[in-house]
Amino acid sequence: MSSAQQRLSQVASHFGPGGKKGVSAITEKHPDDIVVTCALRTALTKGGKGGFKDTAAADLLAGVFKGVIDRSGIDPSQVNDIAVGSVLAPGGGATEFRAAALVAGFPESTAVKSLNRQCSSGLQAIVDIANAVKSGMIDVGIGAGVESMSSQYGPGAVTEFSELLEAHPESANCKVPMGVLSEQMAKDRNVTRAAQDSFAAASYQKAVKAQKAGLFNEEIIPLEVKWTDPKSGEEKTITVKADDGIRDGITPESLGKIRPAFAKDGSIHAGNASQISDGAAAVLLMKRSTAERLGQKILGKYVAASVVGVKPLLMGIGPWKAIPVALEKAGITKDDVDIYEINEAFASQCVWCINELGLPQEKINPKGGAIAFGHPLGCTGSRQISTLLTELKRTNKKIGVSSMCVGTGMGMAAVWVAE
C-alpha cells in the first residue's frame, strides 16, 4: 500500500477531529453562514420515453427557475448570479440557460453561466455560487443542474481525441466508456454481481416505498409540458409530477435474470446501473444575514466541499476519496453524518465505496437513488440537495453529505446541515 493509500485509509477510519466539538461547531448559527432557502427539482423521467422526452433542457430549467421564485417568494431582482451544471448541452448550454432565466422572470441584471464537471456539474454549480456569496462577489445566487438525455445523449456526446491525447496512456483512458471501466473495476475490486443486484434491488424498493408515501412530493415541482404519444403520434399536454423510472416488484432474483451489458461474463447491466433520464433542479443560496433581511425561510446550510482526482480507469472510486476530505474540512467524523446521498452511477462503484469507507447501509440513500429513479447527468448534484434536506427535515436529523463519482476519474462531496 502506498503512503497516499495509507493516508486515505487512516482518514477513512477517522475523519478529522470529529466528536461533539465538530458537530457543535458546524451546527452553530452565524450571520455569515451560507444558507439554502429553497431547493427543489422536477420529476426525473425516463430518457426517450418518459414525461420529458419532448421537452428541451432549457425549458425544464425555466420551469424549475419559476418554481424557485414562486416557492421562495424571492424578488427575482435580488438574485445576482445563476450557475447551471450541464454535461451534454451544445455549446455548454450558455445561451439557452440565460434565455431560460429571462423566461422564468429574472431580470437582465441577473447573470447566468453554464459549467461542466461531468456528473458533479450540479453540485459544482452550487459550490461555485456558495463561494461567490462567501467571498462577497454576490449576495444571492442559484446553483442549478439540468440534462435532457432524451435529446442529447448518444455517440455524438463522445469526443474524438487527437493523436497527442491518444499517445498518452493515462490521457487515452479518459475516453473509455463508463460502463466498460465500471465492469473492469468490479472485477478488479471483487464486487460480485450478487452484491450489486442486492444493492440495486434495495434502491428500487426504498424508492417505491418513498414514492407511495409521498416523500418526494415536497421536493418536486410539477411541470406542464407537451408530450407526443409514440403510438398515435398525437401531441398532448401533460403534467409531470412524479419520477416515472421507479418500478415496483424489483428483487435481487429478478435482476439476476438480466443479461450483462458490457461483457458476456460481466456483472453490470441495465438493472444495476443508473437510468438514462431527464430532469432539472435548483438551489437558492445566500448568507444567513441576507436571508433574515429578506424574510427567507432557511432550510439548511452549506458547510464544506471537496473535489479530488483519481485514475481515469477507476472513476467510480471518487466518493471514497472525496468524502473523507469533505468531512475533514468540516471537522466531523463519518459517524456524525445522518444521511449520505451518494450517486448510484453503478451499483458496483457505490457498493465498493460504501464498504471501503465503512458506512452503514441504513444511512445511504434512504429514499433510493439513481438506479431507481435516474441520473440526468448535470442535474444529479443539485437534485441530491433537495432530496437530502427534505429527508433530514422529515426525520428530524441534522447532518448530510452529498457525493458522486465523476467521469474521467474524479470525485466530489459536500457537507450540509439541515435546520
Residue 325 lies in a domain: yes
Residue 368 lies in a domain: yes
Which parts of 250-379 are beta strand (E)?
277-287, 300-309, 339-342
All 3 cell numbers of residue 253?
A: 432474483
**CA-to-CA separations, 98 to 107, 108, 112, 126, in angstroms, rounded:** 10, 9, 5, 17
Phi/psi at 96 (5° precision):
-65, -35
What residues pair up with 400 in beta bridges, in sequence order?
A: 339, 416
Q: How far is CA 343 from the centre of its chain?
A: 6
Which DSSP category does 77 fall into? G
Residue 351 lies in a domain: yes
All 3 cell numbers of residue 165?
A: 491525447
Question: Of the listed 38, 353, 375, 379, which one is catalytic?
Answer: 375
Dihedral of the CA atoms 392, 210, 38, 23 (nearest 10)? Answer: 10
Distance CA 48, CA 55 (A): 11
Q: Which residues contact 289 (CB under 8 A, 6 or more apart)?
A: 31, 32
Residue 117 lies in a domain: yes
pLDDT at 63: 98
pLDDT at 21: 61
Question: Of the listed 38, 119, 353, 379, which one is catalytic?
Answer: 119
DSSP string covering 99-120: HHHHHHT--TTSEEEEE-BTBT
**CA-to-CA separations, 79 to 29, 107, 112, 189, 275, in angstroms, rounded:** 23, 9, 10, 46, 33
Distance CA 248, CA 279 (A): 21
Residue 193 lies in a domain: no
**CA-to-CA separations, 416 to 4, 34, 364, in angstroms, rounded:** 27, 10, 15
pLDDT along the chain (419 residues), means of 10: 49 43 92 98 97 98 98 98 96 96 98 98 98 98 98 80 94 88 88 97 98 98 97 96 97 96 91 97 98 98 98 94 98 98 97 98 98 98 98 98 96 98
Catalytic residue at 168? no
The one-letter code for the residue type at 6 is Q
Catalytic residue at 405? yes
244-277 burial string, b = 16+ CB within 10 Å, else e? bbbeeebebeebeeeebbbeeebbbbebbbbbbb
Residue 239 lies in a domain: no
Distance CA 44, CA 409 (A): 26
297 touches 37 (CB < 8 A)? yes
All 3 cell numbers of residue 388?
A: 437530502
Residue 288 lies in a domain: yes
Distance CA 301, CA 147 (A): 25
Total structural domains in the chain? 1
The one-letter code for the residue type at 279 is G
Catalytic residue at 174? no
The backbone region for 30, taken as left when phi is positive above 0, alpha when psi lies in -120 to 50, beta otherwise, is beta
Look at the chain and count its residues.
Answer: 419
Residue 320 lies in a domain: yes
pLDDT at 1: 53
> Which secondary-structure segment (H or E) carries 45?
strand 45-46
Helices (H), 213-304: 252-255, 288-294
Q: What is the CATH number of the domain that holds 376?
A: 3.40.47.10
Nearest alpha carbon to residue 143 among 118, 123, 171, 120: 123
Q: Domain range for residue 280? A: 3-155+273-418
